[in-house]
Amino acid sequence: MSMYVTDTHPLIYYRNRVVRRLSARARTVFEQAENGEALILIPAPVLWEVSMLEKAEHITLNQPYAEWVKDLLQNRCFDCVPLDASIIAESRDYSFNNDIFDAVIVATAKLQDLPLITRDVAITNSGVVEICW
């Protein structure tokens, strides 16, 4: 089974069914996960960022946040990676426009040694992790 880590924006696009904003490759990976053919790890700060964006009304989810995240994590092909001391330590080496979420997301992918689903240019250009987009 293929495994990936996701950034915040691809997860929002996929779960809100705005798949046209995903690349063909990213869309395929999310569809494989929905079909039980891939595992997508979600760093806990991704869920925190989704929650903050929704609460601040920067994004609209297709259902209330609590239901959105519950439905997401009920699928066995999506799993949350807790934020721990090793991820925090690794994230200190990264600065992507001073975005602590991006630093922790990249650190999670790096420590898991998995591709990161993202279109973020700063992350992509850093070469720190393999990118799936």
Domain containing residue 91: CATH number: 3.40.50.1010
3-15 tens-digit pLDDT: 999 999 999 999 9
For the four alpha carbons of 121, 49, 96 and 116, in that order, the dihedral sign comes to negative
Q: So what's the pLDDT on residue 97? A: 80
SS3 state of residue 108: helix
pLDDT digits (tens, 9 = 90+) for 83-105: 999 999 999 999 888 889 999 99
Confidence of residue 52 (pLDDT cuts 50, 70, 90): very high
Sign of CA dihedral 60, 61, 63, 68: negative
- Alpha-carbon distance of 106 to 129, in angstroms, equals 7
Range of the domain at 113: 2-132
**Closest Cα to residue 109, out of 26, 5, 7?**
5
* Structural domain count of the chain: 1
